[in-house]
Amino acid sequence: MRDRSELTLRKQRDFSRVYNRGSSRGSRYVVILYRANGLGYTRTAFVASKKVGNSVTRNRARRLMKEAYRSLEGRIAKGYDIIFVARNTIADSMEPEVEKVMKNALRGCGLIA
């Protein structure tokens, strides 16, 4: 098993690569940006901008996305960089809803069976 820090996107150039040359898929609560990374594992990032709300709301949005991802993680294709961007509609949602929406969006991206 890889160290959790290896599985997180951290470098600006990695973010830029996904934003500029990757593909995207929008859903009700989340926008997913993704790009093949040529590695044998998937790296992720969870982002909530100030448009989502104050710091408490942004942190909750990130926690919701991370928890939903955790339950789907084993089914997601390997070898991608994925950025999950919260929409402001996520603020009043519950984790099962977010998981369902993320699952459908990942299926639409072809990242999950």
> Domain-by-domain residue ranges, the chain?
4-105
Indicate the class that CATH gives domain 4-105: alpha beta
Provide CB contacts within 8 A for 14, sequence distance 6+. Answer: 43, 81
Q: Is 87 helix (H, G, I), strand (E, B) or coil?
A: coil
Statement: residue 1 has pLDDT above 80: no
What's the pLDDT score for residue 74?
86
Question: Which residue in 60, 69, 110 sits closest to 90, CA to CA?
Answer: 60
End-to-end CA distance of the chain, in Å? 22
Query: What would the pLDDT profile of 49-96 be if each residue is shown by its tens digit?
Result: 999 999 999 999 999 999 999 999 889 999 999 999 999 999 899 999
How are beta strands 30-36 and 80-86 bridged, if at all? Answer: antiparallel
